[in-house]
């Protein structure tokens, strides 16, 4: 494929750069570039700026508020926004449940939910994984029993990212236990303020409250909140996971972090000699950069297919595997480059410049937390081992 940008695409790149210079709040970009703690208000504020520009949902049809971008334009925005320190749009609404509602929802659901997803007036979370039902998601046990015009939901979800902020949750629930397990699952949209829902925090290795357990105790959900036919949830889940795995690749973000890795490696830290002068470490950076270039090309191919109306296929699993491996390798090499400055870690480093600076290299301390946090990347969205099984079955036919 032709990787050279056309004059119109270069003009779009200039437009993106001008927009980011003029509209991206400096305090938000500083948090992103310095790896500091981001708050809900930061994400909402940026998404509302994008919404006013009409750029919040590049992958949506124009009729529903999408930007109407080509694959090349999506890629250009990803790279430029990453370099500028723009936060990614939280995926659960725009990139996950939004496309599901567009593809499978009825007109009432589209009118009710899509505008509020675009404006970030509704914050969504994902109710998929359960204790004992992670990679084997079809074994989920959360039950939804129909009683008239409602389902009564009982069960538990876990690793629910940012559920403490969520207004709504999209959930896979079991509506039939007498059929093949994949055929007994339905897809529900549930208001998090409904009586019977309890959210409990799970504190991760880096000391952050990012994920949660969510409990459902006789939670009544209107039948009109079911997306698609009863028992069709597994088809919808696979559609959603394809979009999630494609987005996990994070090429623009990884290109920014690669540049920061090079900055750290070129800085005199311990013995007065930059690590970039070490041939072995320089080789590690070069190998990682080549992997990222290959990922970028693959991502462009997938984006181009999406623009032509082709749903993500097994190549989404390739993007998920390689994208997360690169993200984890970047955090590992940054910690290696920091040497002893990576050892002290306190959650305060997410907030206070003085704490980070006290360790010598400015902004060093948050990188240790980033290393700890990104161990999860190869697990969420379907573990990398499961993705390899998908590739084996769907590409190799084994």
Q: Which tens digits make up the pLDDT trace of 255-310?
A: 999 999 998 888 766 566 788 889 999 999 999 999 999 999 888 877 766 656 66
- Name the average pLDDT for the chain: 88
Where do the structural domains in the chain lie, given as residue ranges?
7-89, 123-231, 249-394
Q: Which residue has the higher pLDDT, 63 or 319?
A: 63
Distance CA 130, CA 164 (A): 17
The contacts of residue 121 (CB under 8 Å, 6+ apart) are none
Closest CA to 240 of 379, 100, 390: 100
Please identify which residue in the block is written with the tokens 């006789």: 218
Distance CA 218, CA 212 (A): 19
What confidence tens digit (pLDDT) does each residue in 42-71 have?
Answer: 999 999 999 999 999 998 999 999 998 888
Q: Are strands 124-127 and 143-147 parallel, antiparallel or unpaired?
A: unpaired
pLDDT score at 358: 40
pLDDT score at 306: 62
- 133 secondary structure, DSSP code: B
For the residues of 39-62, what is the DSSP string, one character each? -HHHHHHHHHHHHHHT-S-TTS-G
pLDDT score at 386: 82
What's the topology of domain 249-394? Butyryl-CoA Dehydrogenase, subunit A; domain 3 (1.20.140)
Return the CATH architecture of domain 123-231: Beta Barrel (2.40)
Q: Which residue has the higher pLDDT, 315 or 168?
A: 168
Percent of the chain past pLDDT 70, that is, above it, reads 88
Closest CA to 230 of 185, 191, 189: 185
Distance CA 331, CA 328 (A): 5
Fold agreement between 123-231 and 249-394 = no
| Other beta carbons less than 10 A from residue 354's beta carbon | 8
């Amino acid at each position: 494929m032709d990787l050279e940008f056309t004059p119109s695409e270069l003009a779009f790149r200039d437009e993106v750069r001008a927009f980011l210079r003029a509209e991206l709040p400096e305090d938000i970009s500083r948090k992103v570039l310095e790896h500091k703690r981001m708050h809900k208000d930061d994400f909402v504020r940026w998404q509302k700026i994008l919404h006013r520009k009409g750029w919040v949902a590049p992958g949506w049809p124009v009729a529903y508020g999408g930007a109407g971008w080509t694959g090349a334009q999506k890629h250009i925005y990803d790279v430029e926004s990453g370099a500028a320190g723009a936060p990614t749009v939280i995926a659960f609404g725009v990139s996950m449940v939004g496309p599901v509602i567009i593809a499978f929802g009825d007109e009432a659901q589209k009118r009710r939910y899509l505008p509020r997803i675009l404006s970030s007036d509704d914050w969504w979370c994902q109710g998929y994984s359960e204790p004992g039902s992670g990679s084997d998601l079809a074994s989920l046990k959360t039950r939804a029993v129909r009683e008239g015009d409602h389902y009564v939901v009982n069960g538990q979800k876990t690793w629910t990212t940012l559920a403490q902020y969520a207004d709504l949750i999209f959930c896979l629930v079991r509506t039939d236990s007498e059929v093949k397990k994949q055929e007994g699952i339905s897809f529900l949209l549930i208001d998090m303020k409904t009586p019977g829902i309890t959210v409990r925090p799970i504190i991760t290795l880096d000391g952050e409250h990012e994920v949660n357990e969510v409990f459902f105790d006789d939670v009544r959900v209107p039948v009109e909140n079911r997306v698609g036919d009863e028992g069709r949830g597994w088809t919808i889940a696979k559609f959603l996971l394809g979009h999630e795995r494609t987005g996990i690749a994070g090429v623009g973000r990884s290109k920014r972090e690669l540049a920061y890795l090079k900055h750290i490696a070129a800085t005199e830290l311990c013995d007065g000699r930059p690590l970039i002068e070490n041939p072995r470490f320089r080789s590690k950076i070069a190998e990682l950069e080549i992997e990222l270039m290959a990922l970028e090309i693959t991502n462009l191919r997938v984006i181009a297919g999406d623009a032509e109306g082709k749903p993500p296929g097994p190549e989404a699993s390739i993007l998920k595997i390689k994208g997360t491996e690169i993200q984890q390798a970047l955090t590992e090499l940054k910690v290696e480059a920091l040497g002893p400055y990576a050892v002290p870690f306190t959650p305060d480093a997410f907030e206070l410049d003085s704490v980070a600076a006290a360790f010598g290299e400015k902004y060093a301390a948050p990188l240790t937390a980033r290393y700890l946090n990104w161990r999860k990347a190869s697990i969420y969205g379907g573990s990398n081992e499961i993705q390899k099984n998908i590739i084996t079955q769907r590409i190799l036919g084994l």
